[in-house]
Structure 1
Amino acid sequence: MQQLTNKQILVGVTGGIAAYKAAELIRRLQDHGATVRVIMTKAAQAFITPLTLQALSGNPVHCDLLDSEAEAAMGHIELARWADLVLIAPASADFMARLATGQADDLLATVCLATNASIAIAPSMNQGMWRDQSTQQNLQTLISKQVLVFGPGDGSQACGDIGPGRMMEPEQLAVEASSVFKIGSLDGVKIVITAGPTREAIDPVRYISNHSSGKMGFALAQAAMDAGASVTLITGPVSLQTPERVTRIDINSAAEMHQAVIETLPVCDIFIGSAAVADYRPTSIADQKIKKSTETMTIELVRNPDIIADVSNHPQRPFTIGFAAETQDVESYARGKLEKKKLDLIIANDVSNTAIGFNSDNNAVSVIWNDGKVSLPMTSKQQLGRHLIEEICQHYRKK
């Protein structure tokens, strides 16, 4: 199984003889399903060229903090948001010292300060440098800051010494990276997630819909699967790849989604309604394409079934989570929906913000329940999906 499927790994390469192993590490991470981008320090470029790592990763290698081209496309903040994991391999003694003291004097150090993703280091240095008191103090500082430490290994070194300080082998590092994403414990839990828009037909060629891309729902499905759940994803029309081992049901209209959801409830433990379901549909659908014949046209609409309310009130009610995509008074409207529809949780976001609204790759939300709330800052939808599944898992287990 590819445990890093859809994960975005930012590999930081610092100066040291083990930098040549970064080439193999990129391959092994990709073998496990990850998408890889690379940052190199100036010292790293003395050991291996950016062109080599660019060819292997399939993405441009980032080297300079003040690179005008990078800032125009994917600067240090964009890289920080993009990453699900920042893996620094090799991590030199110098970089460990700079990371421990919070310096931001190059691109890699700056990204580490800016990211919300997990940070892992794979130390690589002479055994004397590893054992030195300053390095060990820096190591403890990094551990106290929740930086993950992979290795180092023990054995012969390029300088001829024998002892601790060898960088872990690339395959071992890929396995360690995979373990970062084993979040929560939803083994055996059955989750149904709705995603994307619905389309309400007017005639054979026209319909009423919205701008939902389905990205958030698909990210939740991936995260739930990674946490061990059995996932059914009921989705409107979107152009997204189905996450591995997720059962996908494609629908078009709200009525079709409603039917598909109700049919899954006998085997559903958690329901997450992240789809942007049309509130109304035309009362009738024309058999043929409506011709342009008058200056105005009136379409009579009727309300669609309320999927989330029907799930919450169903005799076989699962743990029920709704979404509130609002453009104003976000928390107020979300709490009203939480209470009216008797939900366990509601996830609210401001879709008027184009940086996190429909079609964006990023999002920021608040998870709200009857007597509490937690806000999750803007990050990639893939990473946010994992944070949300963790939060949902905690509330589900309590109840």
Structure 2
Amino acid sequence: MQSSLIPERPLVISPTLAATIGLEEAVMLHVMSEQLAFRVTQRQQNLDWIELTQQDLMDLMPYWAWIDVRRVLQSLQDLGLLLVNAKTGRDDSWLIAINQRNQVAASERPRAAAAPELPKRAAPGNTEGRAGYIAGDWQPDREWLALCRQHGIPESFALSLVPGFVMYWRERAQSRFSWGNVFYKHVLKEWRHEQTRRGASEFETDMAPGWRPSGEAVSILVNAGVSEAFIEDAVPEFVLYWRERGAGKGPWNTRFIEHIRRQWARFSVSLKHDGLPRPIPEDWQPSDEVFDILSLAEIDAGFAREKVPEFVLYWRDTGQALASWNTKFLQFIKFSWARRPEAAGTGVVDARDQHAAERGRQGLEATFRRFTDRSWAE
């Protein structure tokens, strides 16, 4: 019974083959062998070839991006397991064959004069095309060292990795088709790590009592909106903290930038929302969030802005201190909006005015109470 989670025929990969040439390479090689069994083939040079387009390859291996398909395909070419020949007149179509020449009997092998080799990248140092264990005295071929030099890797660095490389793979007792290819990838990885280590050490400085952040570090923080005075005040504390922990060399400029950014963020938030009552400033203006809330209540922003001078004047005269002037302004505007003359015509009047109207005291008294009411300020 087929599981609903596996709607297609699964790929069956040989663990030994995957351990020998790599998992991705084993997957693609299996896919190609299946295509040779099901597709129409062309017999050339004692090999069966199939024609595949870029779209065919993407459909066959939807779990990879095109760049990954090309990478694995090239890896199999380097290992000498696949032969790829671009079809004449097309840039997105190739003839592909599995290289099984080594399994063909000597009498059946085509002669070079009768059947010339298709152009392909050969794997340096792998002329036999068979997997084998690494020798105790193994050394990389000059071709692999030349490839390393193309990446700016000194030959001395690559050769220094050979003893450890040989020891590692002899202890694992695994076979490979091309030890040069494995070594080449190993050198690239180690060179990247070496470059990272060198880059980090170049920016390391000593944590001395007189340590100061570099001008570049200060400039980065100032451009991020941090006060120079705040940066200056934080230096002694930063130095004392790390010296008490016995710190020596390190990327202190980077750590200082990270430390100041965190401290400045906390300081800014605490300064803005410290909850301490303060008198209203003479140039006080409501925040943008206030007008967003008023728009949700369908209150005209122009009406609110016209009321700001009156609001500031009233509270400066009272001399009171509040923790949130935005909240108090919202209450004032909502109160004033409901009591504007247009609202009175639509029946939106204050409860006190309604009560006064019911008692028959309309006119001057109700108007006076409406414009002198300060309950919103309580």
TM range (shorter): under 0.3
TM-score normalised by structure 1 residue count:
0.22
Which protein is richer in strand relative to its size?
1
Determine which structure has the larger helix proportion and give its number. 2
**TM-score (norm. length: structure 2):** 0.22
